[in-house]
Amino acid sequence: MRKRLRFAAVVALLTLLLAPAPALARSDPGPPVTVPALTQWTPESGAYVYRPGARLVADGPAERRVAGTLAGDLRAAGHGSVPVVRGGARSGDIVIDVKPSRSSLGAEGYELHAGAGLSITGATETGAFYGTRTLLQLLAQGDRIPAGRTVDVPRYKERGVGVCACYIHVSLPWLENLVREMAYNKLNQLLVELKVKSDAHPEANTWGYYTKDEIRQLVALGDKYHVEIIPEINSPGHFDPWIENRPDLQLTDSDGNKQPSRLDITQQAAFDYYTSLMDEYAQVFTAKSWHMGADEYMLGSDFAKYPQILKYAQDTYGSGATPQDAFVDFVNRVHDHAASKGVKLRIWNDGLTGANTVPVKADTTVEHWLNVAVKPSQLIAQGYSVMNASYSLYLIRGGFHSDTESLYDQSWDPRSFEGEKLASSRGVTGAKISLWPDNGRGETENEVAVRLWPALRHVAQATWGDPHPDAAYAEFVARGAAVGHAPGRRDLTRVPVADGTYTFGRSFTASVQRTADGYVTLRSAAGCLAISGGKLTLNVPLQPGIEATWDTCDTSGTLQRWELEPVAGGYRLVNAITQMALTVTDDGRIVQYPADQRTPAVWHLS
């Protein structure tokens, strides 16, 4: 976790989520408006008009999968029910083709041709799928699509978003919205640092974890929308979510002090513990990559305080070895375990300081976020694939937010690393934006979403095509507004009841008031309902069983914001920050618990 700057939250930006999509004004007809912008466009006379009676023509299994997803999205976007058929096309139909012979389209490119009918062709199923995202964006602006042809191929193979739900719990509906938005904007990689509830190690199941069924649901959505969901368990640093209750695996300094966030890389038991978690994650994740983090292991400390690390390195690699070699040894052993399962390893760059004599395995992908001694050009020269995960692309709750407008005006692209601008894209896999919860109560999920959408569209543009398709940033923002949000995206700012005073079962009476970010506050004569006690993690009370209290009302207090979740018979109350639901104990106390630990109370409002 990277602790950074503070910022003043701009809640008013939430109105962008609800504002109607304006048309993008253009001084000339130009290419149709999409995000990312089309890499090329050849206009023709006339137009394709989407009308009732249009069909999706798809013959093979791959084509029919793409068409089936498109049909569902057309329905969700309000374009009606469109049948998927085989056979010849007629005027007005939409034809989906997967032709491996079209190798020039690559793994993700497509050709779209609009005329009396409309056709989408990819060399792969993924390419054809991306063509359907372009079609949906065009239809979001009206049923008439100018006639013409585009061959649209991405410049970079990795176009991503990283989410650290590594201590706090980010709600599943929010993550599902993100997957849909990523696919809509042709982003293909969601890297998630999170905890899956462990059967093998129940002592590690501190909140906020995800159940295996929740992850299977998210991965299935990712598969459907061609977003690879890559898991991360950060190690050997930032490992405290997993070894809080395992002091035997915590690194111990020369004074006997335990380091609860650091795994003792000199222990075989520590390696076995980590790889057993990897194996358990393989039960629910299907990605062919594994991210082990490997960042900030000695942050704020010194290897000299841990003489056992140097001893391990010298015992393993000889008297000339350095403590950093023990760290690289751990990375390489994890690499080999992943490789034995057919999975490639990814790490952050800051652990590669040049102080090691043992190299990291060459087929490891390095995600570069921090300017350190070993530059991206050196990593590429050494044979590593490098992804741009620059700090300038970070969005931190309660802290630094990427300045998307400035990056756009600079024509930022994935060659622009922290500390070095490359002349060539050779060896650069792409780029991602990263979301961190360093001050977990600093913003709600809905507030994060407002900041995210412009940054998401920008990185989609910069990794797919021309990083500066419009003369001014305001025009690029209007481009995003014109295409709108993904079909099927849930409006998580909608409150299911009107403001007013309600009695919650037999427990309490409170005034329910909608907040600007789409939650509610519950106000009584005693104050506002909040979760404010217990142990804090990233400034969030993540301890199950903590009692809800009536605190002095504070309009900026995110821990006083609640989701009213409709269920059969009433509503659940879920805290907007802790993401735990309220339940009532036998002695009448109102406490928070994860839903899989205690059945949430269902509140009938009257």
Among residues 169, 324, 366, which one has the least CA distance to residue 236?
324
Among residues 487, 562, 594, which one has the least CA distance to residue 176?
487
Point out which residues pair with 421 in neighbouring strands. Answer: 416
Query: Does an H or E element contain 443, and which?
Result: none
Point out which residues pair with 592 in neighbouring strands. Answer: 582
Among residues 162, 150, 69, which one has the least CA distance to residue 114?
150
Amino acid at 287: A
Point out which residues pair with 347 in neighbouring strands. Answer: 366
Q: Compute CA 71 distance to the chain's CA centroid, rounded to the nearest angstrom.
A: 25
Q: Compute CA 108 distance to the chain's CA centroid, rounded to the nearest angstrom.
A: 20
CB 8 within 8 A of CB 120: no
Q: Compute CA 488 distance to the chain's CA centroid, rounded to the nearest angstrom.
A: 17
Radius of gyration, CA atoms only, the chain? 25
Among residues 390, 458, 440, 429, which one has the least CA distance to residue 164?
440
Q: SS3 for 248? A: helix
Which residue among the candidates 280, 296, 418, 565 is catalytic per the annotation?
Answer: 296
Q: Compute CA 87 distance to the chain's CA centroid, rounded to the nearest angstrom.
A: 39
Q: Compute CA 322 distance to the chain's CA centroid, rounded to the nearest angstrom.
A: 36
296 is catalytic: yes
CB 366 within 8 A of CB 347: yes
For residue 173, how many C-alpha atoms fall within 13 Å in the half-sphere facing its CB?
A: 12
**DSSP per position, 529-589:** EE---S-EETTEE--TTPBPEEEPP-TT-GGG-EEEEEETTEEEEEETTT--EEEE-TTS-
Distance CA 183, CA 226 (A): 7
Catalytic residues: 296
